[in-house]
Chain A
Amino acid sequence: MSMISDRRVARLLTPGADPRPPVGLASRIKDEIPADVRLDPDAVARIGAYRPGAHRRFVGEFVLLAAMLLVVVGLGVWGLKVVRDHEDATRHARAVDALLEPTDDWGRGRASLTVTVHDERGIGLPGARVVLHRLEPPSLASRRAETVRDGRVRFLDLPPGGYRVSAELPGFAPATLGTIRVTEERGSEVPLELRLLAGLPPQGTETR
């Protein structure tokens, strides 16, 4: 590495006072100017217009701007997606909540429904699991109960509306009743028949 600094070299290069031109030099030069000396007017118009690297700066700025625009658009799209996903999730959650949660009046009504589960011979079946689904208004919530000795089960405090009743008991084919209209005027009562599965003896029959 050199011991002479670039600054010192620059100082050495920097000239002192300009040497005075010899007398008569200007006249000799002017005497040789052609009579028809002329400059292209377009060249004068172009002076100062050209700047090297300007196009590269423009391209660079354009690329930077495009990249920034892409980032902004990307962030916007992503943000919109997040918001919409969140809205969808919220809406979905509300819908699920609405289905899972009983309606405000679920369990507060005054109607009742008695379900009698019996076999093909009309004998009440105790221990049958009865599930009550509310259909109108729709809800995923349900109430469950088991039939007592005479095959009956009673659901109380039901709001009026449509219900679906299903019952199952080991050894019997599950059965479902479609929409059952429950009103406040009087207690509703529906029978539900369970059929014995083929190959199984009727309940209460001893097998050896």
Chain B
Amino acid sequence: MTMPAKVEERELLLALARGDRGAAEALVDRTYPRTFALLCRLCGADRDLAADLTQETYRRTWAALPGFDGRSLFSTWLYRIAYNTFLNHVRRPHRLVPLEDEVAVAARDGDPAADDRLVAGEADARVQRAVLALPEELRATVVARFWAEVPVAEIAAADGISAVAVHARLRKALARLATALEEGS
């Protein structure tokens, strides 16, 4: 069963509450590109790793579905699972792919624009390292807002804090990132 693309998330969730497997597939279609993109950014553009973690994210999502309490949007909840999946992965150091290798691969591929991509890749890698070095509370907020593009109100709902507190976290995180990027430049 294929659901229309513009069906609201709420309608899909109502169908899922009735046990409609097609609604679950529609939710996957609707959310997996952004989930993959988020994990790609977190993984430093390691597409294979990001794809594995995306698959793992949905496995966890189905398992945790009975615990979804509706306090936030499903997409926000899914983002948190993806983020936690990534954190679980990086806490196993032997599986972490060094970012420098990614940049090096980009430089060896013989593309005429390789220099530009190398510079861009280095910048992205620096930003990614600075973000991952943030304290957990600030890192999660920055990743949610900028990389998962979760609205501030949704971050607030998911974290159980006010929108003002989210903005305060973002301001603090940006200040720390600015310092970190300046020190690393």
Q: A residues touching B (Cβ–Cβ < 8 Å)?
A: 2-6, 8-10, 12-15, 18-22, 25-26, 28-30, 32-53, 56
A88 vs chain B, min Cβ distance (A): 52
| Interface residue? B122 (CB, 8 A) | no
Q: Is the CB of A29 within 8 A of B58?
A: yes
Q: Is the CB of A37 within 8 A of B162?
A: no
Chain B count of residues within 8 A CB distance of the other chain: 61
Given A28-B55, A35-B21, A37-B21, the answer on whether A13 and B142 have CB atoms closer than 8 Å is: yes
Q: List 13 A-B contacts (CB under 8 A).
A: A19-B47, A28-B55, A35-B21, A38-B17, A39-B66, A40-B17, A40-B69, A40-B70, A43-B69, A44-B14, A51-B157, A52-B160, A53-B164
List B contacts of A13 (CB < 8 A). Answer: 127, 131, 142, 146-147, 177
Q: B residues touching A (Cβ–Cβ < 8 Å)?
A: 10, 13-14, 16-19, 21, 24-25, 28-29, 32-34, 36-37, 40-41, 45, 47-48, 50-51, 54-55, 58-59, 62, 65-66, 68-74, 123, 127, 131, 142, 146-147, 153, 156-157, 159-164, 171, 174-175, 177-179, 181-182
Given A25-B54, A29-B28, the answer on whether A43 and B70 have CB atoms closer than 8 Å is: yes
List B contacts of A45 (CB < 8 A). Answer: 70
Q: Is the CB of B59 within 8 A of A32?
A: yes
